[in-house]
Amino acid sequence: MKPPNTPVSLALVGCGAVSRLFYRPALRELRRHGLVELVAVVDPRPEARDPLARELGCAACASLDAALALRPALVAIATPPSLHRVQAEAALAAGCAVLCEKPLAATADDADAIVAAAARAARPLAAGHYKRFFPAHRALKTLIERQTFGPLLEATLVEGGKFAWPAATDSFFRREQTPGGVLLDIGVHVLDLLRWWLGEPADFTYADDALDGLEANARLDATFAGGARVRLRLSRDWRTENVYVFRFARAVVHCRVNAANQLEITLDDLPLTLAAELRHPLPARPAPPSRALETNPQAFLAQLVDVCAALHEHRPPFVPGAEGAAALRWVETCYARRTPLSLR
Binding stretches for another protein (CB under 8 A): 156, 158, 162-170, 172-175, 181, 209-217, 233, 235-238, 240-241, 343-344
Q: How far is the CB of 344 from another protein (least distance, A)?
A: 4
Closer to another protein by CB, 272 or 343: give it: 343
Say what angle helices 24-32 and 46-56 make with each other, to 10 degrees.
20
On whether the CB atoms of residues 328 and 321 are closer than 8 A, the answer is: no
- Helices assigned H by DSSP within 57-107: 64-68, 81-93
Closer to another protein by CB, 119 or 168: give it: 168
Q: How far is the CB of 95 from another protein (least distance, A)?
A: 37
Q: How far is the CB of 241 from another protein (least distance, A)?
A: 7
Strand boundaries in 43-84, DSSP class E: 59-61, 74-77
> What are the C-alpha distances in Å from 175 to residues 32, 190, 220?
41, 22, 21
Work out whether strand 36-42 and strand 59-61 pair parallel, antiparallel, or are unpaired. parallel
Closer to another protein by CB, 79 or 217: give it: 217
Closer to another protein by CB, 167 or 270: give it: 167
Q: How far is the CB of 213 from another protein (least distance, A)?
A: 5
In the chain, count H helices and then E strands.
11, 15
Q: Is 282 exposed, middle or buried (0-12, 13-18, 19+ CB in 10 A)?
A: exposed
Q: What is the dihedral of CA 329, 330, 331, 335, to 10 degrees?
A: 100
Cross-strand bridge partners of residue 127: 100
Q: How far is the CB of 264 from another protein (least distance, A)?
A: 17
Q: How far is the CB of 237 from another protein (least distance, A)?
A: 5
Q: N- to C-terminal Cα distance for the chain?
A: 47
Q: How far is the CB of 3 from another protein (least distance, A)?
A: 37
Backbone angles phi, psi at 229, to 5 degrees: -105, 135
Closer to another protein by CB, 122 or 343: give it: 343
Closer to another protein by CB, 221 or 277: give it: 221
Closer to another protein by CB, 37 or 264: give it: 264
C-alpha neighbours within 13 Å on the C-beta side of residue 59: 19
